[in-house]
Amino acid sequence: MAGNTFGQIFRYTSFGESHGPAIGGVIDGCPAGISIDMESIHTDLQRRRPGRSGRATKRKESDVPQFLSGLIDKITTGAPIAFIIPNEDARPQDYNYLKDVYRPSHADFTYHQKYRIDDHRLVHRASARETAGRVVAGGIAKQVIASSGMRIAAYTAGIGLFKLDRDFTFSELEQARLSKMQCPDESLSKQMESYLHEIRKEGDSCGCEIQTVITGVPAGLGEPVFAKLQAGLAAAMMSINAAVAFDYGSGRFAADMKGSEYNDLFTVHNGHVRTASNNSGGIQGGISNGEDIIFRVVFKPIPTIRKPQKTVNREGKPVSIKGKGRHDVCAAPRVVPVVEAMAALVIADHLLLFNSVRM
């Protein structure tokens, strides 16, 4: 199975299955001498952790990573950083009813067609459980880029028809990670939470939108032509389970705009070249321009629902299926730290590429 490694210099390799003994990862290319704040990584894992409320899966995992190499007294050595996260509440038997059935909009059919292994447990590699490892790797990447003054804040911008309708300061966005819905609008958060409770009662699911701001990014990150910064971010975001769309800056609105409306005019502020607007989302020509990088990711409704659905089995015969087991109703809010983690992996990788060019 290929496709489990992400990055060029700062490289993260993921391994493990949702219902195996553990998941984990290996980070290669991390610079030596970086003091790692384990509490920060723990906080991000708790934001992603299952079993915290009625909005999410009932699976209960403590999600405490065990580091096997690459750190001495919590300081990076430059060697590969390997870690595992034990699966403490795995129940593979909960999924035996799926042995011969293809779930609608799920990975069962495609995994079976690609790998030709007659065991439904292979698809557990496609579980959102895998993203816990990304949060650990992203937590270390965050601390790599923080040494260069960069910070990342992702937040829940929309669930169903409940969407943010105003801008927030970066400080407000960082504070949002402390709230239940990881949304900066307290009133809207309550509406979102109530909506998810109703959706769960109905046995259904819903989609969401996560927005991200990366501040403190210097001009010059990104590698044309096929390694543009936005391309790396898009690849990272679209690799997350249930992600279906990505755009940055004023991307989704650009088709309705004129050039005179979209163009970011250059100006000088305190002796530095800046742009008067940020429709470009901090990236021009595939390279960061020094403005905040702003992007959005849309996640589809979770495909496993408790409402009966028509499908077929492996023999191609029509059957009906009703979701069982422990599943989220919506990717948000648990996916927010995953988005941050993948953004950090991209920025850390491009920062090291940038520094290698300057050396």
CATH (domain of 62):
3.60.150.10
How far, in Å, CA of 229 to CA of 225, rounded? 10
pLDDT digits (tens, 9 = 90+) for 52-101: 545 555 557 889 999 999 999 999 999 999 999 999 876 666 667 777 89
Closest CA to 232 of 142, 132, 348, 336: 348
Closest CA to 223 of 351, 114, 131: 351
Angle at 187 between CA 184 and CA 188, to 5 degrees: 70
Residue 49: the pLDDT is 86
How far, in Å, CA of 227 to CA of 59, rounded? 38
Omega of the bond leading into 333 within 30 degrees of 0 (cis): yes
Half-sphere exposure of 153 (CA within 13 A, CB side): 19
Closest CA to 51 of 242, 306, 328: 328
Residue ranges in the chain modelled with pLDDT below 50? 53
How far, in Å, CA of 114 to CA of 128, rounded? 20
Residue 193: alpha-carbon gap to chain centroid: 20
* CA gyration radius, the chain: 21
Residue 292: the pLDDT is 98
Residue 53: the pLDDT is 46
Question: Which residue range is the domain that position 235 belongs to?
Answer: 5-358
What phi and psi, each to the nearest 5 degrees, are found at residue 25?
-165, 170
Domains: count for the chain: 1
Beta bridge partners of 81: 27
End-to-end Cα distance, the chain: 36
Mean pLDDT value across the chain? 93
- Find the farthest-apart pair of alpha carbons in the chain and give their distance in angstroms, rounded: 70
pTM of the entire predicted model: 0.94
Residue 88: the pLDDT is 87
Residue 335: the pLDDT is 98
Structure tokens at 345: 């992996």
Residue 325: the pLDDT is 67
Per-residue b/e over 101-119, b at no fewer than 16 CB within 10 Å?
A: bbbbbbbbbebbeeeeeee
Residue 143: the pLDDT is 98
Closest CA to 109 of 348, 324, 316, 318: 316
